[in-house]
Chain A
Amino acid sequence: GENVEQHPSTLSVQEGDSAVIKCTYSDSASNYFPWYKQELGKRPQLIIDIRSNVGEKKDQRIAVTLNKTAKHFSLHITETQPEDSAVYFCAASRHNQGGKLIFGQGTELSVKP
């Protein structure tokens, strides 16, 4: 069945360091991969997404890479700041499955000042 594995479940870094979160998906037909950030007590919000026809996408301090062959995608945050502390979720979906997103289990990122 459809499944997304996310690692690590918790990640602690010093302010200014980089953070990397990795996800692996099982459905080879998946072609859309969003990343959501959820701060404590708040709703998940999209921070970046990538489609299967692109290998890498960058937005300021955030980048996502996709390896379709390995069915693997990663979130990279550089120059981390305390306000980056949150739970990050990766997700995967198919073009023909509308709004259905399969989420990873989440990574709790803590950035220490």
Chain B
Amino acid sequence: KAGVTQTPRYLIKTRGQQVTLSCSPISGHRSVSWYQQTPGQGLQFLFEYFSETQRNKGNFPGRFSGRQFSNSRSEMNVSTLELGDSALYLCASSLGSTGGTEAFFGQGTRLTVV
């Protein structure tokens, strides 16, 4: 069974640009969550999608957005990039009709904003 796949693995962008990250969940998983990981802040929840609908949202500005497709693949978009957006972005998938099920993480996309 294939794991969670994130593309691309690495990105370098210039301040002010926008970026789109992709996450393919484990087959059969309908929930996809996104997290930002930085050395100082740990893992911070961005948002969760379930059956193409945003089900939960963290405390990030509106520059961070996402969507989910009918095959459960999800994309995350960050507009007007700032230097502070440099981080490892992780997605996690779970069966997720309700909470309390194991979340499987992808290997992450390392975003560097210069």
Task: Please report A residues at the B interface, Cβ cutoff 8 Å.
Answer: 1, 31-32, 34, 36, 42-46, 49, 51, 89, 91, 93-106
Contact = CB atoms under 8 A, between A and B. Distances in A.
Contacts of A105: 41-42
A98 B31 contact: yes
Given A34-B103, A106-B42, 12 more contacts: A44-B43, A51-B100, A93-B99, A93-B100, A96-B98, A98-B55, A99-B55, A99-B56, A99-B96, A100-B45, A103-B42, A103-B43
Contacts of B94: 99
B47 to A, nearest CB: 9
Contacts of A32: 99-100
Interface residues of B, number: 33
Given A34-B102, A45-B105, A94-B99, A99 B32 contact: yes
A47 B92 CA distance: 15
B107 A42 contact: yes
Interface string B60-102: 0000000000000000000000000000001011101111111
Contacts, number: 84
B105 A43 contact: yes
Interface of B: 4, 31-33, 35, 41-45, 48, 50, 55-56, 58-59, 90, 92-94, 96-108
